[in-house]
Every structure is written in structure tokens, then in C-alpha cells.
Amino acid sequence: MDPVVPIKKVSNLPGDTMFTSVIHRSASAYQRVHVETAVSEADPHKLVELLLERLLQLVGTARAAMKQGQIATKGECISKAVRILDEGLKPALNLEQGGDIAANLNGLYGYCVLRLSQANLKNDDAALADVVRVIEPIAQGWKQMGEQVGARH
């Protein structure tokens, strides 16, 4: 008779890391495709809305990372938030034709970059809260404006 060989149980329960990396990669790929699809199908107004939403998400994640002492994550999120402001939102402004609104938004975005830099340098949650306080009403107004324009068409 053959000797009995014990069979190891394989599971994907919490604490079991056998499939964690595959699941994480799949979720990340799905998220990238979702974002890429949203961006590729968006009009300029929607693109700004997506940038504002992502900016607020990044600041929220940076705040949580700061509270948990995750310095690298905090720094990465703040860096991405600054890039959204400097490379996405500020260049979208038409300072020549946008009048006071464009000039004021440019100033607010510059202020947010300054506060993000201070938050990163000094681990200052109040600076991150300032960015949320400034950007949230802009994001909400921008979204409502898009909904009103969309309702007319």
C-alpha cells in the first residue's frame, strides 16, 4: 500500500497571500482602463471635472497617509496633486480671454501648490485641509455647471 501523503489546503482567505498580487494587479488594471476610458470619452469640461475629483482624492489619501505615518505614500500623493494643478488645471485656464475668473482660479491653484508643498515639507494636515477647503467648492460648482449645460442639450 502507498504511503499517505498529506494534502496542503490552499485558500485565498485573509492572511493568505497566494493570490493577493494577482488580485491587486487585476484591480489596478481595471481601474486604469476605467480611467483611460473616462478620459478618452470626456469633453474638455468633463476632463477638468475628473482632474478636480482626482485632486481631492489624492489630498484625502495624503491626509490619511500622513496620519498613519506613511511618508512615502503621502509624498507620492502630494506630488501627483501638484502635477494635476501645475500640468492639468493651470494650463487649461485661458488667462487672456478668461478675465477675472481665470485670473482668480490661477491664483487659487498657485496657493494650493504652495500649501501642498508646505504640507509635504512640514507634515502639516492643516495645509492639506486648506487645499480641500479651496478646491471642494470649485469642484462642486464645476460639476453643477456641467450638469446644467448637459440638461439643456
Q: Residue 111: which CATH number?
A: 1.20.120.340
> For the segment 24-71, what is each residue's pLDDT rounded down to a tens digit?
454 455 555 555 555 566 688 899 999 999 999 999 999 999 999 999
> For the segment 82-122, what is each residue's pLDDT rounded down to a tens digit?
999 999 999 999 999 999 999 999 999 999 999 999 999 99
- Give the Cβ contact number of residue 56 at 10 Å: 18
7 in any annotated domain: no
2 in any annotated domain: no
Domain count, the chain: 1
DSSP letters, 73-104, are HHHHHHHHHHHIIIIIIHHH--TTTSHHHHHH
131 in any annotated domain: yes
Q: Is the pTM of this model over 0.85?
A: no
Domain containing 84: what range? 44-152
25 in any annotated domain: no
